[in-house]
Amino acid sequence: MARKTKRTTVPRAEADDYAAVGDQFTKAAELAQEFEYWNAAGLLYVHAAIAFADAVAIARRGEKSTSENHMDALALLEEAVADVKGRDEAREHLRRIIDEKNRVAYTGVSFRGADLEKLAMHARRFRAFAERILKA
């Protein structure tokens, strides 16, 4: 059995607030991308995806991860959408996004346009999944 990650209870009504934060991060990422601020855009896409993952977990389970390890948000998401069509693809998109977080934020490696486009594609696909869940 998987270990229980650190989490907190959040009223389900707040899921839309977390989705709105994800939307703001997405819009900021798109703006940064227009100006070719690749690392800034990348980090904003990561935070957008995490906000959408939190929104889904809150809507479906009434809780969100409080762990500093973003992979724990992925584990909670898996629990929250265990019965949802498309969950495996969504999980893979979120995993790839989180995998890029260290590289874009902490390594000093400069992202390029091609790097960012891959990350943005995963972010768009994960967002579409999250929005479908939140509208259900």
Of all helices (H) and strands (E), which one includes residue 69? none
- Domains of the chain by range and CATH? 9-135 (1.20.120.330)
What are the residues whose beta carbons fall under 8 Å from the beta carbon of 120, sequence distance 6 or more? 29, 33, 41, 45
Amino acid present at 59: A
Name the one residue in this structure whose structure tokens are 């790097």: 115
pTM for this structure?
A: 0.93
Per residue in 45-93, pLDDT (tens digit) is 999 999 999 999 999 999 999 998 888 999 999 999 999 999 999 999 9
Q: What is the pLDDT of residues 14-50, one digit of tens each?
A: 999 999 999 999 999 999 999 999 999 999 999 999 9
